[in-house]
Amino acid sequence: MYTRTGDPGHIIAEAIDNCVDEALAGHAKKIDVTLYADGSIGVADNGRGIPVGLHPEEKVPVVELVFTRLHAGGKFNKRAGEAYSFAGGLHGVGVSVTNALSLRLDVEVRREGALWQIGFADGDVVNKLKKAGEAGRETGTRLRIWPDPKYFDQPKVPLDELERLLRSKAAFLPDVAVTLSTEKAGGTFESRTWRYKGGIHEYLEELLGGAQTLTPIFTGEKYAGKPGENDSFAEGEGASWAITWAEDSSVVRESYVNLIPTAAGGTHDSGLREGLFNAVKNFIDLHNLLPKGVKLQPEDVFGRASYILSARVLDPQFQGQTKERLSSRDAVRLVSTMVRDPSDLWLNEHVEYGRAIAELAIRQAQQRMRSAQNRVEKKKGSGVAVLPGKLTDCESSDPRDNEVFLVEGDSAGGSAKQGRDKNLQAILPLRGKVLNSWEHERDRLFANNEIHDIAVAIGVDPHDLDAPDSVVENLRYGKIAVMADADVDGSHIQVLLLTLFLRHFPKLVERGNVYIAKPPLYRVDVPGHGKRLARKVYALDDAELDSIEDKLRKEGVRDGSWQVQRFKGLGEMSAEQLWETTMNPATRRLLPVSMTRAELAETHKVFTMLMGKGEAASRRAWMERHGNEVEADV
């Protein structure tokens, strides 16, 4: 649940992140990682050392809690002056998961003039905390980890991946020396130390490997000041970046949140894209460079850009527990705001480079528009049926990027139309519940207006799983998303639409074109506290609401000071809320519905029992067996 299992790299990264957090807080100047010949890994820093005193409530040493208890991390506390103002997340599970997935884990802490030791095996304490000697003025924490190979596809940490991780940490911590040592035969060690005095500028140069670029690297940073200087963000939030453009060479892109690598990007990347696009668009307008009839899009500006981005976010929220993608909605506006003004200034101070970027973006836009025009002309001559009148189509005609939302109700459809990205997102509102089409004859499907409109809108006729691939060659949208209320009726509509796709459009399910949009059921209005300003947090269901409230308590928010609103349906949400929570690719949660042929065959049996008209007795027996597993929403 909490880690990748291809190799132990992620559980080692969690230990390294603790060292980085000490460095970010200004308490560590050295981070050492050692690969031992017996397969164990050492991770050490010269920070303050993990506290060894008794926890006031649990009455066990704090260092023991850190390695054995979920959600015991100090990173929950974001109040000014506490241990971690900016850290890698609020999961609070990092090294406890490292410990749980290790055969053995030994900890040495130098703190308060003493050397302390504690040992774990299979996640449990086997050597209790003891004072093992004097440490003088030295402080810090050293771990030695033996990952348990039964949990991983391969037992060793990939060396190139580990080196890349450590180099990137060094790039963002120019005052910190990051060392990787490897034990050789005879007990000798081979070491490499990284320290980038030029920071991320020097790091991006190294990653580009001498590739020719259109512009020199533009490096900048901007952070929010004290309260009152910038009321929109917490003190210290912001971003640093290094970016350049190239015509032909491959692009290099890395992004981080509080020095946690986000391999899948996220909302901070979207903020960088938005801020740069607005700056370049402003430069083009100021110098009157845009040819008539050309319409720029963010990807025209961003498509040939290589960059390193480091966002500093007070309370980062990630999509999934492995932290590969940032989902904090405020990060888009945060990074965009911090990037926009410095980018405007840099472009206008370096007009020749600004023109080079503008000309590249315009060429990209012209090429995109020519491709789109050719596709549109081909469709016009192919005898495609007239699109349904209630379909609000998108402007782009590239099915790889286009999305259509099948929205429950005209009211929600209206909000979705206002809040959508007009370029890439289409809206098809549906009235009422769609026909149960599981046992419906294919030649009678189009008698139902809703099914007729869905088929014509997506450009695919009903078919069998064994139909040739040509049946989907006119597919107009790469993503077909079912967007219904987050209640029982909405779930019913989801099932009816999934029944339609599974039975009559199975190739779309096999290809992974069908999705379920996940709108929130609750909105939590959180008052300002500590460094944090007032904010809104959304929860998909009761379990997530409980988790959010638990986190708020751990952050120090007074219990009961927040307000919880339950949405009765999508129609209650404003266009802005619907975009922010359910449609924005950077912040939404879109659940893919994809199955192999074998899975489709097995699922057909289940759907026959659930949706078949003559299966009432089977359904009753199934509900009697599984009814106690369901929490009814009444």
DSSP characters for 114-154?
A: EEEEEEEETTEEEEEEEEEEE-TT--EEEEEEEE-GGGSSS
pLDDT of residue 231: 59
CA distance 250 to 254: 13
Q: Is 106 a catalytic residue?
A: no
pLDDT of residue 434: 82
Q: In the chain, what are the domains? A: 9-194 (3.30.565.10), 199-372 (3.30.230.10), 403-518+591-629 (3.40.50.670)
As a whole number, mean pLDDT of residues 119-128 equals 93
Catalytic site includes residue 408: yes
DSSP at 541: S
| 315 classed as catalytic | no
pLDDT 10s digits, 135-179 = 999 999 999 999 999 988 888 888 988 998 999 899 988 889 999
Q: Report residue 329 as tokens.
A: 């909605």
Whole-angstrom CA distances from 72 to 53, 62, 86, 611, 617 are 15, 9, 17, 46, 49
487, 541, 544, 572: which one is catalytic? 487
pLDDT in the model for residue 376:
40
Note the pLDDT of residue 226: 64
- d(CA 596, CA 509) in angstroms, rounded, equals 9
DSSP for 323-362, please give it: --SB--THHHHHHHHHHHHHHHHHHHHSHHHHHHHHHHHH
Is 485 labeled as catalytic in the residue annotation?
Answer: yes
For residue 631, what pLDDT band results from cuts at 50, 70 and 90? low
Q: In sequence order, what DSSP letters do the residues of 64-81 get, joined into one string? A: HHHHHSTT--GGG--STT
**CA proximity to 226, closest of 216, 217, 237:** 237
Summarised one tens digit per residue, pLDDT across range 373-399 is 654 433 343 444 567 878 899 988 888
> Cα separation of 155 and 166, whole Å?
20
Highest mean pLDDT among 219-233, 438-452, 523-537: 523-537
29 pLDDT more than 90: yes
Nearest C-alpha neighbor of 460 from the set 410, 515, 393, 509:
509
Q: How confident is the model at residue 83 (pLDDT cuts 50, 70, 90)?
A: very low
Give the pLDDT confidence of 324-379 residue by residue, as tens digits. 788 888 899 999 999 999 999 999 999 999 999 999 999 999 988 887 665 443 33
The model's confidence at residue 189, banded by pLDDT at 50, 70 and 90, is very high
Q: In terms of C-beta density within 10 A (0-12 exposed, 13-18 middle, 19 or more buried), how is residue 209 classed?
A: exposed
Tokens of 470: 């040509």
- Return the DSSP state at 8: T
Q: Taking residues 409-436, what's their average pLDDT?
A: 85
Give burial (CB, 10 Å; 0-12/13-18/19+) of 383. exposed
The tokens describing 99, both together, are 């410990």
Q: Choosing from 410, 489, 525, 546, which is the catalytic residue?
A: 489
3-class secondary-structure state, position 496: helix
Please tell me the least confidently modeled range out of 204-208, 447-451, 626-630. Answer: 626-630
Residue 80 — very low, low, confident or very high, per pLDDT cuts 50/70/90? very low
| DSSP string for residues in 206-271 | HHHTT---SS--EEEEEE--STTT-TTS-TT-EEEEEEEE-SSSPP-EEEEETTEE-TT-BHHHHH
- pLDDT per residue over 430-441, tens digit each? 887 788 888 887
pLDDT at position 75 over 50? no
Residue type, 273: R
Residue 273 has pLDDT above 90, yes or no: yes
| Catalytic residue selected from 32, 450, 485, 580 | 485
Give the integer Cα–Cα distance in Å for 300 and 358.
9
Say if CB 305 and CB 272 are below 8 A apart: no
What are the CA-CA distances from residue 163 to residues 19, 84, 196 (Å)?
Answer: 16, 26, 14
Say if residue 243's pLDDT is above 90.
Answer: yes
- The pLDDT of residue 347 is 96
The H-assigned helical ranges of 420-541 are 449-458, 488-504, 506-511
The two counts, helices (H) then strands (E), for the chain are: 17, 21
Cβ-proximal residues to 159 (8 Å cutoff; 6+ apart), any chain: 35
Strand partners, 118: 107
Nearest to 274 by CA among 225, 223, 338: 338
